[in-house]
Amino acid sequence: MTGLTGGSRLPEAVLTRLTGQRQTVTGRPGWRRVAAPLVVLAIFALLPFAGFAVPWVLPGPVDVVNSAGTLEVLGLGFVFASVALGFDVLFGFTGLLSFGQVLYFAAGAYVLDIALSVWHWALLPALAVTAAAGLALALVLGALCLRVRGIAFAMVTLAFAQAGYYLIEDNPHGLTGGDTGLVMAAGRLPPQLVGVASTRNLYWLALVFLVAVYAVTWLATESVTGRVWLAIRESERRAEVLGLRPFGFRLASFVFSSLLATAGGMVYLLLVGTAAPASVASTTVTISVLVMVVLGGVGTRWGAVAGAIVYVYLQQYLLKIAAEPSFGSLPAPLRVPLSQPDFLLGVIFVLFVLFVPGGIAGLAGRVRLRREGR
Amino acid sequence: MTTFVAITVSGLALGAVYFLIAAGLSLIYGLMGVLNFAHGAFLTLGGYAGWAVAQQLTAARGGAGFLLTAGAAALAGAAVAAATELLLIRPLYGRQIAQILVTIGLDLALVGLLLGAFGSNSRAIGVPAWVTGVTAIGGVRIPDGDFVAFGAGLAVLGALTWFLRRTRYGIIIRAGAENRDMVRALGVDVGRAFTLVFTVGGAAAGLAGLLNSVVFSGALVDPTQGDQLLIFAFIVVVIGGLGSIAGSALAAVVVGLVQVYVGFYAGGGAGLAQLGNVSVVLVLAVVLLVRPRGLLGGST
């Protein structure tokens, strides 16, 4: 990815000056940096075979690890982890706070849904057209929104996402199904992705998708373009003085992040089987993704993944707890707030912003430093 | 023609509600650089406070009763806003992104709390007949609530303008918006101005939440009402120019009118009920392309 810098790779000295710091990794020896994620990945990949029961902690209604409920919650967590990674590129790595990420997520879910269910296309052309639509939307709106900065940028992106939400609610030509949403027609999907037995296949699909998104995000953020993103985050003026044109890089970050959201929307649709405005197109989705990234740790990649999985898990788990019969016997001042996942997540989020600015990734880093005796 | 007049009055009333919300947002942003997402929850809390007081007033639903209801809504908004500034914003001075994030978390938590306490069903606010009735002026039937909302908007605009121009704290707030560090260097406690701005903005938001329920939502209040309204208030603030009260007032009227005109004349026939809302977004896009700092925004 060197096109935007005029075809030549920037020398290391310039890059160091751009970002104001050397990108050196300190701490753990190399093999452990690779081994830990691989072990976690292997555990998640083998989870559908774990037919044993674990009490208390699972988010699904049945206390068996590979039950459909638990696998669905985790799959959803992987999808949102991918969207959160995209958001982290835009917000954490480039310093652009967008409140419109849900628009591209909704585009992914709805265009794919319409292509499959209204036009009855086959899966592959439907996927291709959805990706192209997401790309076009991100290019046009990105070029428009990036004319303004800071809070105004956040507001314009929010406004466009809201316009998308209203259009979907309005159900033009009966395309979107309006308020109730559009159920995906499974007729032309591959048999592995349909039916009761499909749960574990969809789980693996979401996991493979997340791994692919993580790899692409890693490559992008470690590339020369990624260094320029960091430079723009630190000081756009400085990047400009060093002879770069920031607009193209900011647009690249915007489009990259939006495309991941579109792809996430497509996998979401395959997983959940329906696109409804409240869960796919509403601004609350953008806010959730923002909360995930901040909970996990801004600008750290794996933090966004951890934050998203923890968020989705907590949301489902807290709902399950609140539905327990014994929960109803609590006194009202305890029961009312504790029955609302949004309340608890909001409080956790506020506490993190106030007291744990680095998020989960920051906490992990602090623990590691202490163990190494520094 | 009579329809046009009625719609225009309705648009002005809607603009007045937007102004009540946007004024607080704009003041807070202008002085502190904080975009307050919890403003949506302040609105809803105002609506519920009004509902709670109106419950107690069922016997005396006269003229004074509604003033009490409105006062309770403003007071609730002011109290929550002041607490927000002191407990959550103050520890994060100088970290603007963190301040925005903390208001997002607060909004999430407050709306969740309201959902837990009241459920997702609406509550009906008891209001006297002179607020819900209709007055015919020269053959045009206009809901009384429109006059109430517009009057409240004008009153707050007048009071805010007087406060900012004529009082000591108003002058500190304007100076602080201009150059915070200089005001601090001159020995003025800017922190108190921050709390004051939040309190005033919260009071206006509480009142706006109640008026929106009474005038535009059939006297019903529900937990997510404020957040839906907040997005339009954000749009108003950006169109008017961040930090400018006059800009907010102008933009509020423009947005209110555009929304009802497009919604009625273009949206009604085509079955696109949301076209009015979409048109507001387009206005925002055009304004930002032509004039990125908003209609009356300063050169920042």
**ipTM for this prediction:** 0.90
**Residue-range definition of the domain harbouring residue B57:** 2-223
The shortest C-alpha distance from A333 to chain B (Å) reads 9
Q: Which candidate in A147, A165, A170 is best for mutational testing of the B interface (most B CBs within 10 A)? A: A170
Q: Which residues of A50-65 are buried (b: 16+ CB within 10 A; e: fewer)?
A: eeeeeeeebbbeeeeb
- Would you say residue A182 has pLDDT above 60? yes
In a domain, B279, yes or no: no
In a domain, B176, yes or no: yes
Nearest beta carbon to residue A172 from set B242, B272, B289: B272
> Is B145:B13 a contact under the CB 8 Å cutoff?
yes
In a domain, B299, yes or no: no
Nearest beta carbon to residue A167 from set B101, B111, B278: B278
Residues of chain A whose beta carbon is less than 8 angstroms from a beta carbon of chain B are: 97, 144, 147-148, 151-152, 154-156, 158-160, 162-163, 166-167, 169-170, 172, 283, 287, 290-291, 294, 336-337, 339-347, 349-350, 353-354, 357
What's the mean pLDDT in A57-77?
88
Q: Which of A3-17, A258-272, A357-371, B47-61 has the lowest mean pLDDT?
A: A3-17
- Would you say residue B116 has pLDDT above 70? yes
In a domain, B192, yes or no: yes
Share of chain A above pLDDT 70, in %: 91
Instruction: For A1-17, write each residue's pLDDT tens digit.
Output: 333 433 334 555 555 55
- Nearest residue of B to residue A285, measured between CA atoms: B108
Q: Counting every residue, how long is chain A?
A: 374
* Torsion angle of the four alpha carbons A26, A31, A32, A38, in this order, in degrees rounded to the nearest 10: 130
Predicted pLDDT of residue B59? 54
Predicted pLDDT of residue A12? 54
What's the mean pLDDT in A40-60?
88
Measured between beta carbons, which residues in chain A are less than 8 angstroms from residue B113? 336-337, 340, 343
Question: How many structural domains is chain B composed of?
Answer: 1
The shortest C-alpha distance from A172 to chain B (Å) reads 7
The shortest C-alpha distance from A358 to chain B (Å) reads 11
What's the mean pLDDT in A246-252?
95
Determine, for residues A97 and B273 on separate chains, whether the beta-carbon distance falls below 8 Å. no
The shortest C-alpha distance from B267 to chain A (Å) reads 10
- Where exactly are the structural domains of chain A? 3-279
- Would you say residue B287 has pLDDT above 70? yes
The shortest C-alpha distance from B214 to chain A (Å) reads 23
Nearest beta carbon to residue A350 from set B109, B227, B235: B109
Nearest beta carbon to residue A148 from set B102, B227, B292: B292
Share of chain B above pLDDT 90, in %: 50
Predicted pLDDT of residue A22? 47
DSSP state of A185: P
Measured between beta carbons, which residues in chain B are less than 8 angstroms from residue A160? 281, 285
Instruction: For B234-257, write each residue's pLDDT tens digit.
Output: 999 989 988 888 999 999 999 999
In a domain, B269, yes or no: no
More confidently predicted of A337 and A73: A73
> Distance between CA atoms of A225 and B91, rounded to whole angstroms?
36
Closest CA to A208 of A29, A44, A9: A44
The shortest C-alpha distance from B67 to chain A (Å) reads 31
Q: Which candidate in A101, A314, A342 is best for mutational testing of the B interface (most B CBs within 10 A)? A: A342
Determine, for residues A144 and B278 on separate chains, whether the beta-carbon distance falls below 8 Å. no
The shortest C-alpha distance from A51 to chain B (Å) reads 35
> Distance between CA atoms of A185 and A188, rounded to whole angstroms?
8
Measured between beta carbons, which residues in chain B are less than 8 angstroms from residue A346? 105-112
Determine, for residues B285 and A144 on separate chains, whether the beta-carbon distance falls below 8 Å. yes
Instruction: For B200-221, write each residue's pLDDT tens digit.
Output: 999 999 999 999 998 888 889 9
Q: Predicted confidence band at B191 (pLDDT cuts at 50, 70, 90)?
A: confident
Mean pLDDT over the full length of chain B: 88
- Nearest residue of A to residue B119, measured between CA atoms: A336
Share of chain A above pLDDT 90, in %: 60
- Would you say residue B62 has pLDDT above 70? no
Residue whose entry in the numeric block shows the structure tokens 């749009």? B235
Measured between beta carbons, which residues in chain B are less than 8 angstroms from residue A172? 272
Measured between beta carbons, which residues in chain B are less than 8 angstroms from residue A155? 234-235, 237-238, 284
In a domain, B152, yes or no: yes
- Would you say residue A274 has pLDDT above 60? yes
> Distance between CA atoms of B27 and B31, rounded to whole angstroms?
6
In a domain, B87, yes or no: yes
Q: Predicted confidence band at A195 (pLDDT cuts at 50, 70, 90)?
A: confident
Question: How many CB atoms sit inside 10 A of residue B223's CB?
Answer: 27
CATH of A3-279, one of 1.10.150, 1.10.20, 3.40.50, 1.10.3470: 1.10.3470
- Would you say residue B28 has pLDDT above 70? yes
In a domain, B258, yes or no: no
DSSP track, chain B? -HHHHHHHHHHHHHHHHHHHHHHHHHHHHHHH----TTHHHHHHHHHHHHHHHHHHTTT--SHHHHHHHHHHHHHHHHHHHHHHIIIIIGGGTT-HHHHHHHHHHHHHHHHHHHHHHH-SS-EEPP--HHHH-EEEETTEEEEHHHHHHHHHHHHHHHHHHHHHHHSHHHHHHHHHHH-HHHHHHTT--HHHHHHHHHHHHHHHHHHHHHHIIIIISTTEE-TTHHHHHHHHHHHHHHHH-TT-HHHHHHHHHHHHHHHHHIIIIIIHHHT-TTHHHHHHHHHHHHHHHH-TT-SS----
The most confident of A209-218, A326-335, B58-67, by mean pLDDT: A209-218
- Nearest residue of B to residue A290, measured between CA atoms: B101
Nearest beta carbon to residue A354 from set B91, B100, B108: B91
- Would you say residue B9 has pLDDT above 90? yes
Q: Which residues are within 8 A (CB) of B35 and not within 5 positions of it... i.e. 6 or more apart?
A: A151, A154, B25, B29, B100, B103, B234
Nearest beta carbon to residue B108 from set A155, A163, A287: A287
